[in-house]
Amino acid sequence: MNRKPLLYLCLAMLTQCSKCKHDPAPADPAAALPPATQTGANTFGCLVNGQAWTPSGNDGTSNYSLYYDPSYRNGTLNIGAYRYANSNSNSKQLITIYSDSLRSVGNYFLVKDGRQEAFFKDRATGCEFLGGTYYRRGTLIITRLDLQSGIIAGTFSFTLYKPGCDSIRVTQGRFDKKL
């Protein structure tokens, strides 16, 4: 008796069954972020601890703002964004980036008690990285500072840590705002 047809039939069934289970590739969280542009697109986004973070929700104020004053403190920039992680008002998260002495495109270091700083607040956890003593390191890169066109754009990343709170790692940050 020839067992080859039975063997081929079993192999064919096994290969067909292996195709039945399709595991999609994990989604790239960065794909949910707005593109890094320099056109005044009014966009802001970053990854916070590996998860996409964009402004959302409304508390009566704009959930994304950028202010630049070239005459105050040799050029002052303040970027603020907030979002609600869910429908609960206690789920509000805020990101703020501040700089003075900012007059041109270039790299600026976000450090503790420096001229460039980064802040994060999460109402749900009660963790606030606003002033006080905590670890802060990062970079703000201004890629376009065009006052004639009224456009400021750039990228950022930073890490914040203090005892009693989870570390906050902000990566792949980007902003593009028309003043």
CA 163 to chain centre: 23
Nearest-angstrom CA–CA distance, 79 and 62 = 12
Tell me the two tokens of residue 43. Answer: 């966009």
The pTM of this model reads 0.82
| Token pair of 119 as six digits | 């802040």
Would 88 be classed as within a structural domain? yes
pLDDT tens sequence across 109-165: 987 666 788 999 999 888 998 877 788 899 999 999 999 999 999 999 999 999 989
Residue 28 included in any domain: no
Q: 54-109, pLDDT tens digit by residue?
A: 999 988 999 999 999 999 989 999 999 999 977 777 889 999 999 988 999 999 99
Q: Contact at 8 Å (CB) between 162 and 133? A: yes
Note down the domain range covering 166: 37-178
Q: What is the pLDDT of residue 134?
A: 82
CB 165 within 8 A of CB 141: no
In a domain, 115, yes or no: yes
Query: Does residue 120 fall inside a structural domain?
Result: yes
- Does 60 map to a domain? yes
Domains in the chain, number = 1
For residue 25 the two structure tokens come to 């590739």
